[in-house]
Amino acid sequence: TVADLKGLKQGQLRLAVITTAKYIIPRLLGPFCQLYPGIDISLQVTNHELILDRMMNNLDDLYIMSQIPDHFDVNFQPFLENPLVVFAPANHPLAKEKNIPIERLGEERFIMREPGSGTRSAVQSLLEKHGVKVKVKLELGSNEAIKQAIAGGLGISVLSRHTLLTDAAEFSILDVQNFPIKRDWYMVYPAGKQLSIIAHTYYEYLLDAAKKITEQGGLIPDYNSAEA
Ligand code: PGA
């Protein structure tokens, strides 16, 4: 039977994913492990630059990231969107405003991810493109820590909308021009590499799971439409 065949898949799956993927990948691993009880998993969660290092050193079977490496030949497959949005506390004065000019961000205290973060480089290139300088009050190496700092009133930041999946009520997403920064999550592996049967099984599983999520309207509820 099919179940017997699935039981035959034994071994280890080594995944390394960028920080924003931790809001969805572990959840999707539950059903995967039920389908394939013989597969054990290691999951590394880290920033863009450290994912690149791991890929160069061939430490994992499969990578999830939002920006395809420039200087390294890879196979890649987008599977879900990963937009970056402007986060502020729920009671922020700009929360009710529409179409806020991007220059306005220069007047706010800003919280920025650490060097090496893909979120940080995406935010910096958008700000540079529009000649906007922000006052970085605080630099933090964790999306969750940034959310706590925002909730604590330390400033505003730009984060993946997925980081809001569990606690949307504490935050507002500001309607700033040129946002969201549109990005996707990609499954990536080195171009010369043959995926193991197990990694290939996961690859197909994740594509299929993502397709179902997209068909059901995506992961991301439209928080701001709830305010009315
Ligand atoms: P980061 O990546 O953890 O390197 O910021 C997250 C992302 O690019 O979505």
ipTM associated with this complex: 0.95
Report CA(42)–ligand 1 centroid distance (Å).
19
What is the model's pLDDT at position 170?
87
pLDDT tens sequence across 184-213: 999 999 998 999 999 999 999 999 999 998
pLDDT tens sequence across 104-118: 999 999 999 999 999
pTM (2 d.p.):
0.89
Nearest CA to ligand 1 atom 2: 118
Region 17-32: what's the mean pLDDT?
A: 92
Q: How far is CA 204 from CA 7, 21, 197, in A?
A: 17, 17, 11
| Confidence at 222, pLDDT banded by 50, 70, 90 | low
- pLDDT at residue 51 is higher than 70: yes
Task: Choose one of 79, 113, 181 to mutate for the ligand 1 pocket test, by most ligand atoms within 8 angstroms of C-beta.
Answer: 113
Region 150-175: what's the mean pLDDT?
A: 91
Preceding amide of 180 cis, omega within 30: yes
- pLDDT at residue 102 is higher than 50: yes
| Confidence at 218, pLDDT banded by 50, 70, 90 | confident
Report CA(1)–ligand 1 centroid distance (Å).
41
What is the model's pLDDT at position 166?
73
- pLDDT at residue 14 is higher than 90: yes
Report CA(118)–ligand 1 centroid distance (Å).
4
The pLDDT mean for the chain works out to 91
Report CA(141)–ligand 1 centroid distance (Å).
11
